[in-house]
Chains A and B, each alone.
Chain A
Amino acid sequence: MKLYYFSEFPHHEYPDAEGDKFPSLRLAFPNRFFDRAKASSNYQRYLTEYELADEVGFDGLMINEHHSTPSCVNVGANMTAAVLARTTKRAKLLLLGNILPIEDNPVRMAEQIAMADLISGGRVLSGFVRGVGVEQWWANSNPVHNRERFEECHDLILKCWTEPGPFRWEGRHYHFRHVNPWCLPLQQPHPPIWVPGTASPETAVWAGRRGYTYVPFLVPFDIARELFDYYRQGAAEVGRTVTPDNLGFLICAVTADTREKALEAGRHFVWRMGPTLRGPIDWFQPVGMRSRGAKQFALKARPRSLAQMSYDELVAEHFIIAGTPDEVADKFALVHEQIGCGHLLLEAQESRMDHATTMRSIELMGAKVIPSTAKL
């Protein structure tokens, strides 16, 4: 099983009591609480941590993107990928990912991902996401069109990468009469495509039909298995065989020299599970963004939201894994045994988890966890 290091570039650099005064940390928490100096040094810090993860042997570095939220100030996945393409040597750069429905120019996106692939020597794994509802508000993109735009944007990017230009594209949501990008990915026919999922069976089926790597985020094992079944159903429709390489899973994880230290560090993940996901349902799932089927599945997948769970419960249900390297390796083996995924993505950092703790965790993962996990 391959391991990926993921930092969400959090900006937990304000008094919590201030954040609590607003209906949500997303969209509503005023950006006067954005600490520019702290953000500047944090970007350097987070990139350094990624670079160590590359050095110690992580298979990949996962990069994401959100907007208008202190939970993630990585506002340009492709920008971060371009930096890491230059400063890292071997790890894959897993963009998970670019938010397709809010993109108005898929041709530019195809070019940017291609450029990161070229600079990195072909290390890009190109994830495409539908985004959380907050991004629809940020971009003022009609959520009713989210799935249609996701699919059309995907189709146009793939066409940019695989069909010779110039060509014309006149779809429902995207219109370009002269498409001829002079920047194509190094990997042929194109970088591998990944898709995350939390609750939409449609997305799992869609990814399965295309053989894309599919990654449920922070769901219970039984829900991950059920989503993987939807994925297999899509694969079966087109006669595709599913291997562990098609399946990934994301959790939060940290290790330290002692169990106590690791458990103390892991407590920082509670912020991303609770306060950063707090807010009106219409902000996170605006009108029309989710199908009826997905809504019903979401209720089943999360009878209780992550925000309602205590730290102990989050640890007990393996949303957070924290322990000594041996303990962590055992838990990763358990995840692998439970759901049979070939890729495990570790959200492994939080801004109040200090730099030294984060670096030590990365170091220990490299020295003591990756060697055993790689054998799974």
Chain B
Amino acid sequence: MRFREETIRVGGIDVHTWVGGQGAPLLVLHGAGGNRGVTRWLEQVAAHHTVWAPTHPGFGGSGDADWMEGIDDLARFHLWFMDAAGLVRPHVLGHSIGGWAAAEMAVMSPGALDRVVLVAPAGLKPETGEILDIFFYSPLQLRDMTVHDPKTIPEWDELFGKAPTPAEADITERNREMTARLTWKPYMHNPRLSHFLPRVLNPTLIVWGREDRMVPVECGEQYRRALPNATLTVLERCGHLPPIEQPDAFARLVVDFLGAKT
């Protein structure tokens, strides 16, 4: 599957975007670790859907947005991105803070989206546990806490196995700064979000790793209870990165869900 890189201008900000595949449009929103580009799961999904994977403002190769203060700003931005890119009622899939952004988009404008896939989204305060304070740990510590078992991850070496180049380290730091801008307080959640989730009638798939040490799996239950049309699939022996840790199983779940008849 051939992907191309595009720069799409939204509200004065250049948004670096991976575009590829065939079929109905699918908007893919990345997590705090940044846009990892065309990885194994994405290629498999792109056989069935035209994937649009923008890099959030302030991350990677996209322009700055120092004025943003929260994930709700990011959600409004990506609704605008859909207009700019000409995406009409796409499916949306978001991971971690990207999943949180997708949930915010859905409560703001449910009619603008088709099906919704939330992968270990932040956004809700766990009822008993805590969301890991990622800023309290170094990027290297986080790398190891993010996944369940590096040995089972097919793309581990290419994604995490090498020491970062200075340019890559700069991007990691920039991603971290923008994440801090968007999520510092209240930390990684929006106390008002749960009140709006019942508005979202869109069919929604929630995917979580049983061993997620970043956002506890109980948040998956909370999302499922609050969303009227949601199912929760929990992957065993999986941490916070289902698409990377179990790419084949994850891609199959997504393709089956998006291809299902309503």
- Do A and B originate from a single complex? yes
Give residues of chain A (279-318) contacting chain B, Cβ–Cβ below 8 Å.
280-283, 286-288
A137 to B177, CA, bound (A): 15
**B136 surroundings in chain A (CB, below 8 A):** 137, 280, 282-283
Give residues of chain B (135-181) contacting chain A, Cβ–Cβ below 8 Å.
135-138, 173, 176-177, 179-181
Known: A282-B136, A282-B137. A140 touches B177 (CB 8 A): no
**B179 surroundings in chain A (CB, below 8 A):** 287
A286 to B135, CA, bound (A): 7
- Cross-chain contact A142 with B138 (CB below 8 angstroms): no
**A137 surroundings in chain B (CB, below 8 A):** 136
**B137 surroundings in chain A (CB, below 8 A):** 280, 282
Chain A nearest Cβ from B3, distance in angstroms: 30
For A219-248 the 0/1 string (1 means CB < 8 A from B) is 000000000000000000000000000000
**B181 surroundings in chain A (CB, below 8 A):** 142, 144, 288
- Cross-chain contact A287 with B138 (CB below 8 angstroms): no
Known: A143-B180, A144-B180. A287 touches B135 (CB 8 A): yes
**B76 surroundings in chain A (CB, below 8 A):** none
- Cross-chain contact A140 with B176 (CB below 8 angstroms): no
Flag whether B196 is at the interface (Cβ < 8 A).
no
- Cross-chain contact B138 with A282 (CB below 8 angstroms): yes
Give residues of chain B (174-224) contacting chain A, Cβ–Cβ below 8 Å.
176-177, 179-181, 184-185
Chain A nearest Cβ from B193, distance in angstroms: 20
A280 to B138, CA, bound (A): 8
A288 to B138, CA, bound (A): 13
Q: Interface size bucket, A side?
A: 10 to 19
- Cross-chain contact B176 with A287 (CB below 8 angstroms): yes
A137 to B176, CA, bound (A): 16
Give residues of chain A (326-351) contacting chain B, Cβ–Cβ below 8 Å.
none
- Do most interface residues of chain B lie in helix, strand or loop, or is the interface mixed? helix
- Cross-chain contact A140 with B185 (CB below 8 angstroms): yes
Chain A nearest Cβ from B186, distance in angstroms: 10
**B180 surroundings in chain A (CB, below 8 A):** 142-144, 286-288
The residue on A at minimum CB distance from B136 is A282
**B176 surroundings in chain A (CB, below 8 A):** 287-288
A280 to B136, CA, bound (A): 9
Chain A nearest Cβ from B73, distance in angstroms: 14
For A190-202 the 0/1 string (1 means CB < 8 A from B) is 0000000000000
- Cross-chain contact A282 with B135 (CB below 8 angstroms): yes
A286 to B136, CA, bound (A): 8
- Cross-chain contact A144 with B185 (CB below 8 angstroms): no
Give residues of chain A (245-302) contacting chain B, Cβ–Cβ below 8 Å.
280-283, 286-288
The residue on A at minimum CB distance from B177 is A288
**A281 surroundings in chain B (CB, below 8 A):** 138
A282 to B137, CA, bound (A): 6
A286 to B181, CA, bound (A): 12
For A132-162 the 0/1 string (1 means CB < 8 A from B) is 0000010010111000000000000000000
**A280 surroundings in chain B (CB, below 8 A):** 136-138
A106 to B11, CA, bound (A): 34
A140 to B135, CA, bound (A): 12
Chain B nearest Cβ from A280, distance in angstroms: 7
The residue on A at minimum CB distance from B175 is A287
A142 to B138, CA, bound (A): 17
A342 to B137, CA, bound (A): 41
- Cross-chain contact A144 with B184 (CB below 8 angstroms): yes
Chain B nearest Cβ from A278, distance in angstroms: 15
**A283 surroundings in chain B (CB, below 8 A):** 136
A288 to B176, CA, bound (A): 8
Chain B nearest Cβ from A152, distance in angstroms: 14
**A143 surroundings in chain B (CB, below 8 A):** 180
- B136, B173, B179, B184, most chain A CB atoms within 10 A: B184
Chain A nearest Cβ from B245, distance in angstroms: 25
- A140, A143, A286, A288, most chain B CB atoms within 10 A: A288
- Cross-chain contact A287 with B177 (CB below 8 angstroms): yes
**B177 surroundings in chain A (CB, below 8 A):** 144, 287-288
Chain B nearest Cβ from A190, distance in angstroms: 31
- A137, A144, A281, A286, most chain B CB atoms within 10 A: A144
Chain A nearest Cβ from B246, distance in angstroms: 30
Chain B nearest Cβ from A279, distance in angstroms: 11
Chain A nearest Cβ from B184, distance in angstroms: 4
**B184 surroundings in chain A (CB, below 8 A):** 140, 142, 144
Chain A nearest Cβ from B254, distance in angstroms: 31
The residue on B at minimum CB distance from A288 is B177
**B138 surroundings in chain A (CB, below 8 A):** 280-282
A281 to B176, CA, bound (A): 14
**B185 surroundings in chain A (CB, below 8 A):** 140, 142
The residue on A at minimum CB distance from B184 is A142
A282 to B180, CA, bound (A): 13
- B135, B137, B173, B181, most chain A CB atoms within 10 A: B135
Known: A287-B177, A288-B181. 7 other contacts (CB 8 A): A142-B180, A280-B137, A282-B136, A282-B138, A287-B135, A287-B173, A288-B176
- In the complex, the 5 A-B pairs of residues with the closest C-beta atoms, listed nearest first: A142-B184, A288-B177, A144-B180, A287-B180, A287-B176
Could you list 17 examples of A-B contacts with CB < 8 Å? A140-B184, A142-B181, A142-B184, A142-B185, A144-B177, A144-B180, A144-B181, A282-B135, A282-B136, A282-B137, A282-B138, A286-B135, A287-B135, A287-B176, A287-B180, A288-B180, A288-B181
